[in-house]
Amino acid sequence: MEIYLVGGAVRDKLLNYPSKDNDYVVVGATIEEMLQQGFEQVGKDFPVFLHPKTKSEYALARTERKSGSGYTGFEVYAAPDVSLVDDLRRRDLTINAMAQNEQGLIDPYGGQADLKAKVLRHVSENFKEDPLRVLRLARFAARYAHMGFTVAESTMSFMREMVCSGELSSLMPERVWQEIHRSLGERSPEVFFDVLRQCGALTVILPEIDALFGVPQPAKHHPEIDTGLHTMMVLQQAVLLSSSPIVRFAALTHDLGKALTPQEQWPSHHGHEKKGLSALKQLVSRLRLPNEFAELSAKVMEFHGHAHRAFELKAQALLKLLEAIGAFRQASKLDGFLLACEADSKGRLGYEGKAYPQAEWMKEVYSAASAVNAKEFITQGLQGKQIGEAITAKRIRVIEALKKAR
C-alpha cells in the first residue's frame, strides 16, 4: 500500500496559495484493507474513505470510464492494480494531476511546468468525460486570474467541442449552481463568466446573462455602452464591496431586463427593472436557487433605480422602498440591497472611484423610521389597523423632517 498527497493540496503548495483540505490517493489497497484499518467508506460503491482521526479523504487509485451515451454517469474501476499514473490521468487539469510523497513530487503530465507558465490545460481526452469540468475550469480561471493564469487554446477548443455536443444540457441543476456559487466566492468571478462565454457555455448555463452582451445602453449614463460589459464591471465592484455570494449574485443579475428590450427601443431600456423579473424567475426555477439569493436579486432588480434616486424621492416613496426591501423585518436586507446598488453605480466606466452617498442617506432614513414602533400608539389606546396607520403616518413625518434638515 502506497499513499500520496494529490490534487489541490499539491497544486496550492507549489503556488504558495492557501489550501483547506488534503486529499490522498492509496495505491495497491482494497476496500476491505481500508476498512480493516479503521477508515470510514463514503457511500456504498464509491472507493473514497475518511481517515479515522483526521477525517481527510483517502481514495483508492481508480480510473473512470464513461457508461452509456451522453453524460449518463461513470463506470468506476478501483483495484490494487490501478497505478498512480493511471489515477492522475483521469483528472481534469495538469495542475491538478500531481502527487507527492516522502520521496518528492510525482508529475507525469507536466503540471509543474504549466504552473510556471500559468496555463490551465487538460490532462487528456478524459477531460471530455464530464461536462461539469467546463465550469470547474472556468472557476479555476476565476481563482487564479490575478496570478496571470489563462486557458490553453487546445483546452478551450476541447470545451467548445463539448458545448457543441450538447452534453452540458444534461448537467443536473444542483451541480451547475454549485459551481456558479463557488465561482462567486472567487477573487475574480467575472473571469468565470468570461471563460464560459468564450467557449459558448454561457448561453447554455446562463442564457439570461449571455443575452446582455451586445445590448447597448445610453452613453451619457453608461460610457462602457455594452450591457454585458457593464454587468461584469458591476460584479467586479461587488467583489470589492462584499464577500457575500448573495450580494454578488444580485449584482450579476440586476439588469437582466435589458436583454428583453426590443431593438427598436435601444439604447433606452424603460421599464427594464420589472421586465427582468420574469427572466430572473426562470433562472431561479431552472437552477433551483436558494430563497435568499432569489429574494435579494429580485429586490435589487426591481428597485435599484429607486436607490440611485434616493435623494429625489418623497418621504412616502422612501418609506415604501424600505418596506418593499423588507428592511423593517430584517436590517441586513437593507445592507445587502445597498451594497448591490452601490456596485451597480460604480460598475460604469469612469465611475469606479465615485462615492455613493445614497447608501448613507437611506441608512439614515431607515434608522429614523425604524425608531417609530407600535408601543406609543398602543398606550394611546389605538388598536388593530389604527396602529399600522399611525406608525406609517409618523414615519412619513419623521422622514420629511430629515429631508428638510438636509
Q: What is the pLDDT of residue 73?
A: 52
Q: What is the mean pLDDT of the chain?
A: 93
Nearest CA-CA partner of 5 in 49, 76, 59: 59
Residue 48 pLDDT greater than 60, yes or no: yes
Q: What is the pLDDT of residue 71?
A: 41
User: pLDDT tens digit string along 254-302?
Assistant: 999 999 999 999 999 999 999 999 999 999 999 999 999 999 999 999 9
The mean pLDDT value for 33-45 works out to 86
pTM of the model: 0.91
At residue 70 the predicted structure's pLDDT band, cuts being 50, 70 and 90, is very low
User: pLDDT tens digit string along 124-133?
Assistant: 998 988 999 9
DSSP 307-331: HHTTTTS-HHHHHHHHHHHTTTT-H
Q: What is the pLDDT of residue 64?
A: 67
Q: What is the pLDDT of residue 375?
A: 83
Cβ neighbors of 125 (< 8 A, separation 6 or more) are none
Cα–Cα distance, 34 to 42 (Å, whole number): 12
The mean pLDDT value for 51-58 works out to 91
Structure-block grid coordinates of residue 234: 458591476
Q: What is the pLDDT of residue 139?
A: 98
Cα–Cα distance, 332 to 242 (Å, whole number): 13
User: pLDDT tens digit string along 135-192?
Assistant: 999 999 999 999 999 999 999 999 999 999 999 999 999 999 999 999 999 999 999 9
